[in-house]
Structure 1
Amino acid sequence: MTATDTDPEAGARLAPIAERAAAPAQLPHVTAGDLAWRPATRDDARALLDLRNTIADVDREPYRETLEEILEMFDAPWRRYDTDSLLGFDADGVLRAYGLVDSMPGDTRTVRAFLFGGVHPERRGEGIGRELFAWQVARGRQVLAASGKDVPARLAVFAEDDGPVEKNRLYERFGFGAHRFYSELMRDLRDLDAAPVPDVALEGSLRLVPFAAEYDEPTRLAHNDAFRDHWGSEPQTPEQWKNGRSAFAPAWSFVVVDDAPDVEALLASPDTDAETAAALRAGEPLVVGYQLASRFEEDWAVRGFTFGYTDILGVRRAYRGRKVAVAALAAGMRALAADGIEFAALDVDTANPTGADGLYASLGYTKTHGSRMYSVEL
């Protein structure tokens, strides 16, 4: 973690983002492999899905994607595929390589550009990946510079711990370092008599309820508060929050609400953000914790078992230490078991500041897989 991650005044000492990003005036051309290159469109979703899943299969990645997930990428209103994507087709019109640059409109503390891409296994070793990644890095720097946000900045790419070493070497040659590590954890749900899920009694005016549409926006506000002190997390706008829900499983998701919050104390607290303050004044429900889950059925055959995945688990900072996270997660685990799902799964940042590793271990979660984030910090 750098000084700019913890020091709120550090941003004032940074050079302007346009200077730090060192964006090139022109993007490099990709000539290797003799492919025809153009930006992606929504009509390319099926071809992109096939390529991404082919790469995942050969590289033995533990997940697969659906057409709905790819279409959601194109439907996000903030994404600019006309400028931030590149597809390479062979002479027969078959998609052989792709590169995407993704950025998020809600970034306020650190502006980020994420790089996603790959080359069909049959076309590796021709230099396509190296030239395509050079294009992504250059475009990512342009995106950061154009943001106008004079805060710390990051170019980032993700990799599986047991993925092809050639990819990691490519990232390192471009100056990317492995700066963050993540663990996939799973909990066996097949015999809750032998390994019971704890019963958690919430105190006072706290109440555990199934997720419902009325709690959607209050949960977004809770999430932005809960993850404000997490490295690499940025506030989510309403558009970001609602995007990417094709696998969302409301029946496995739960929130904790405070039916009688101390509104005056919360409004007086400097930690209460403006959106939460407005919701409190309007008498909106106050979600203080949440566990939102997804159902990735296409992954079940790859893994050899069924599982439900906790996308996000969080607790407002003012409500930590009151067993809110345990109550929400335990409710999700019970819902999974009731539906005959064999395992509960989630991912955790190994440097999570809230001691999440200890919480998950106490509930029977163990590590099954790992991944990392390579980045250039600007």
Structure 2
Amino acid sequence: MGTDARFDRRPIGVEQIEDWLELLAAVEAEDRVDEHHGAEDLHAMLADPYCDFPRGSLAVYDGERMIGYGYLKARTAADQVHEFYYLGAVHPAYRGRGVGAELLAWAEQAALPLHRERYPDRPLSLYSSSLARDTAAAALYEAHGYTAARWFHGMTRDLTKPLPDLPMPDGVEARRFTAERSEDARLVRNEAFRDHWGSTESTVESWAHMTEGPAFRPELGFIAYEGGSATGEGADGAGEALGIVLAEEYAAHSEATGERDLYISLVGTRRQGRKRGIASALLVQALAAAREAGFATASLGVDAGSPTGALGLYEQVGFTVKDTWVAQLKPLWQPGDPA
């Protein structure tokens, strides 16, 4: 396998973090998607319980320079089909030389044994994404049999601008995220995203990886409860948990831009809490707290075809679309096919 025998290939490990950071910085300088990474972020990726970097990652080197990478992330469940997620990029100076095609071909081969260990009786697809404005990437995926399956927007908001007055409905109270309330938030997340395209449940293991990660900001996360102590439900007898807004901050972004950005990682409302203004009220509360803490902007990602109308909610709160990504999907294997 390979397009150039001079290139070296190896799995990604801790010893390559500096090389990986340099590659990611070069990609950001070219693509300008406003994604900046630090060493602690990459350490967190390497510790993801749903990744197997020794067997499920590949770095391509030209001498001492990492010029491309790819890795696989398993889903927490195979709901009919296991959509194994592939993430990767190629250094701008090496695009058009077959490195991206090699990485895709590697991913399709590497995914099968890892998939069969987790979900041997389920079909396998490979799920990746590309910038909508990156026509070369779209052509690469199409040439390798991928179908554009869904569109996702990256949105941003200037926190120096006024926030709308969107109060919490009567009987519902917002409480800050705490370790004691974490399980309430996980259960809300799982019910809220059950009808979202491509979503699988957050397991206890994957939830811990996120909420204990270096980017997570518990003090800027909120959970909406209804009913209070009379029900005895929820952490601290807070009532029934109906909605969540959780957030992250990436230190590398602040270092690169000189401004703090709050990334809204999760917004979700259980079915009985929808259409009541809970999500918008929680979001405004989180944005207000972020502004008070010194954040200049906020950002988030949203499924353009969300059945809950999330795009309209975010626009109501003042977010605007900055970029769009295309979900690329390819069926790879199903039970009964040759191994």
> Does the alignment reach a TM-score above 0.5?
yes
Shift of 1:303: 6.4
- Look up the SS of the partner of 2:252 in the other structure: helix
Please report the RMSD computed on the Cα atoms of aligned residues, expressed in angstroms.
Answer: 2.8
**Conserved in 2, the CA contact under 8 Å of 1:256 and 1:287?**
yes
The 2-side partners of 1:293 and 1:303 are apart by: 19
Aligned to 1:58: 30
Shift of 1:377: 4.2
Aligned partner of 1:248 among 212, 216, 235: 216
**Conserved in 2, the CA contact under 8 Å of 1:255 and 1:287?**
yes
Larger radius of gyration: 1
Aligned to 1:257: 225
Q: In the alignment, does 2:94 pair up with 1:130?
A: no
Aligned to 1:307: 261
Q: In the alignment, does 2:300 pair up with 1:346?
A: yes
Greater CA drift, 298-307 or 79-88? 298-307
Between Structure 1 and Structure 2, the one with more strand by share is 2
Q: In the alignment, does 2:287 pair up with 1:333?
A: yes
**Conserved in 2, the CA contact under 8 Å of 1:33 and 1:126?**
no
The 1-side partners of 2:27 and 2:5 are apart by: 17
Aligned partner of 1:197 among 161, 164, 169: 164
Aligned to 2:152: 182
Aligned to 2:16: 44
Name the amino acid aligned to 1:246: P
The 2-side partners of 1:259 and 1:141 are apart by: 48
Q: State the TM-score, normalizing by the size of structure 1.
A: 0.78
Shift of 1:295: 1.6
Shift of 1:284: 8.8
Structure 1 pair 177–250 and aligned structure 2 pair: CA distance change class (3 A): same
- Look up the SS of the partner of 2:188 in the other structure: helix
The 1-side partners of 2:7 and 2:76 are apart by: 32
Per-residue CA deviations over 1:201-233 (Å, capped at 9, x if unaligned) read 3323x3211111111121111101110011111
The 2-side partners of 1:171 and 1:83 are apart by: 23
- Look up the SS of the partner of 2:194 in the other structure: coil
1:154-173 equivalent positions in 2, closer than 5 A: 154-163=125-134, 165-173=135-143
**Conserved in 2, the CA contact under 8 Å of 1:210 and 1:253?**
yes
Q: In the alignment, does 2:184 pair up with 1:218?
A: yes
Structure 1 pair 140–315 and aligned structure 2 pair: CA distance change class (3 A): same
Instruction: Work out the percentage of aligned pairs sharing the same amino acid.
Output: 28
**Conserved in 1, the CA contact under 8 Å of 2:129 and 2:326?**
yes
Gaps of 5+ in 1: 1-28, 265-278
Structure 1 pair 322–61 and aligned structure 2 pair: CA distance change class (3 A): closer
Aligned to 1:298: 252
Q: In the alignment, does 2:115 pair up with 1:144?
A: yes
